[in-house]
Amino acid sequence: MRFLNDMKRHDMKKILEYYFKLKTKIHLKCITGRFYNGYIFDLTSEKDLMVFKDDKLGTIPVLFEELERVEPCKVREE
């Protein structure tokens, strides 16, 4: 089980690094049910932590282990 958790954490880091480099607006869903929309402000891979700039809450810390899903935000057409 620990191996699967380590693989998931490694995959999540790679996904977050990719979106961080592209400065892509993303949607985060946490295992608690909370979700955030915004941009990755800073990544700290040694501590499995990122600073996220949420559209509504501002700058918040998010642990990688809290994340259930990460995907680019859908663009709304008006």
pLDDT tens for the chain, 78 residues long, are: 454 466 677 788 889 999 999 999 999 999 999 999 999 999 986 778 899 999 999 999 999 888 989 999 987 655
Task: Judge whether 78 lies within some domain.
Answer: no
- What does the alpha-carbon distance between residue 78 and residue 67 come to, in Å, rounded to a whole number? 30
- CATH number (domain holding residue 14): 2.30.30.100
Contact, 37 vs 48, CB < 8 A?
no
pTM tops 0.85, yes or no: no
Cβ-based neighbours of 24, under 8 Å, separated by 6 or more: 39, 72
> Has residue 17 been placed in a domain?
yes
Q: Are 50 and 40 in contact (CB under 8 A)?
A: yes
Q: Please check whether residue 15 lies inside any domain of the structure.
A: yes
- The structural domain count of the chain equals 1
